[in-house]
Amino acid sequence: MDLVENWESLEKIADALAYLKGTGSYRLRNVPKGVELRVRIGKYGYVNIFKDAEDPELIKILAFCQAKEFYKLQGSISDDIFFA
């Protein structure tokens, strides 16, 4: 996974890959410093921690993800323990 430095970079990648609608994913989770957002499109990713869920930048990014029909992930678990 290659991480981009800022959201605008990942947004440009998503727009360039518009024909792959619905292939992105994102995940929100509460962390001690606020709300962590992770967004993935292909081999590129973006990670940021926002102070709270009402942050205007976070709201903008989530609206983008929903408009592009990205999948919202609950979390992740390794394959070997999924059915354990």
CATH number of the domain to which 6 belongs:
3.30.720
Does some domain include residue 80? Answer: no
| Domain contains 57 | yes
Those residues with Cβ within 8 angstroms of residue 34's Cβ, 6 or more apart along the chain or in another chain: 49, 50, 51, 52
Instruction: In whole angstroms, give the CA distance from residue 11 to residue 65.
Output: 9
Residue 29: inside a domain: yes
Kindly state the average pLDDT of the residues 6-22: 81
* Residue 25 placed within a domain: yes
Q: Domain of residue 8: give its range.
A: 2-74
pLDDT digits (tens, 9 = 90+) for 21-79: 667 899 999 999 999 999 999 889 999 999 999 999 999 999 999 988 899 999 888 88
**pLDDT given at position 21:** 65
Tokens of 31: 């962390």
Could you tell me the pTM of the whole model? 0.85
